[in-house]
A and B are shown apart, each in its own frame.
Chain A
Amino acid sequence: MLYPWRGEFIIGSKDSQIAIDTLSSSFDFPKEKVAIWGQHKTENLGIEKIVANVVSNPNIRYLILCGEEVRGHRSGQSIQSLHVNGIDENGRIINARGAVPYIENIPMEAITRFQKQVEIIDMINITDKEQILAKIDELASEKKPSFGQPIVVQFVEREKTSQMKSLSGKISLHKDLLVDPYLDVEEMEVIT
């Protein structure tokens, strides 16, 4: 499945070897020249979406980071750090300066593949579209082979911690909280 993770992106040619992360800026690019592009706000879930979608298309060999960096989140710097340094044992992107730079929903296999599959082209804070278009043309002339089989990372819904049921006319808000029909909240000791 191509681009399995939903997001705010535009799909161009699946045969193009270029993906573009426009950070907080918005651009339109010629669809025949670019595989996929879009904005990218967050240094955690946003990066996960980009990685999952990029590794689903082995034709993508370049990821251009351009447009204005996202203040505070530093999404561009954070995805660069992921590419260079990976994550530590807690899932934190090593040396990322973003607010909460943690990767939790994609396997290490996808991160390693992302690091190997694409070359990052650093144009962070470049907002001149002509410069970006020139870079697209330059990269198009530097053909690289497809990276082999795609990796499809499915978004896995997290395991539910408990299943609620209503008890004798009362309402369960949570496993520890029982509410009577007039919303008097009391703590529960045991729920089965």
Chain B
Amino acid sequence: MSNENNETEKKVLTTTELLNNYTGSIQAGLDNGTKYVKAFESLNQTTELPDLLTAAVQLTNYQLNTDFVEFPHQFSDEDVQLVFFERLLKLSNNANGFGISNAEHVQKLLCKFGSLGDNTFTFTKSTKNPAGFFFGPTAHNRPLFYLNLKNKELMFHGSSLIDYFVVDLEGLEVSAIKQALQVMIQAAEVLKENFGFKIDFNVLDGVNGEFYEFAAGKIPEPILDELFVKSADNQYILMSGENGGAALTLDNDTKLTVFNAGNEDRPKWGADIHDNDQKESWLNLLLDYPFIKDWYLDNKKQLEILSNKIIFG
């Protein structure tokens, strides 16, 4: 009984109180808008990388509308990622022709690489994680990498990169493809060096000894037979390696080794690459040596390089 009375008492507002609440709510909505604008200005104009990251994280999943104030024109979270990505590359002098390509209106922003012609790319929000975004070509559903600014993660997706750059873009100059790949690699490097991002370079990793794990687990011998025959047709000799593995010495002393990193009972087949400059990656080999590409595509089901299953699965 007494509770009821209290509530009734609470609901009775004077006109002044009512109007105070009203203006207060609008002011809060406007303040929220101001905060948003400040963050957006920083995203757009700051020349400091840390401020850029802070702004992007702040703007991602920003609740701009309130009950009292709504903003009809808004950039999406995907757009925020793309603006961040473009500015990150420009501020670190790594853009190399990369840029947002349709900045005329407030809309879904797209971007282009300097070397890849009219192909456009964009970010798409992950359905599993609101702070996670996939970057990929607009014409194909291929997540080339996953970016999560809040958790400081960037992960490349091996088989999508191969499907797109090796298969979809077949016929394009290899140097043009490599230039675009380099832009993405540089972006990841900048994030790693400046903010300690966790990066999975996957098939782009040029560090010697990086293990590219095959999907099949166990690689049947005829698949290596095929590599042996194709190599010999191209004047390279596949050598017999340890534990049933094999090794191929390519140009400039680049050495590709295919081996079982597990054991007989729990096989874990994959490849690694050694080169003097620690630059050659799995993807580079597929681009530089058509016979390795053919071999990979002929046996894609087994040879597909595994990526993070939780993020991309």
Partners in one complex: no
B residues neighboring A (CB under 8 Å):
none
A binding-site residues for B, Cβ under 8 Å: none
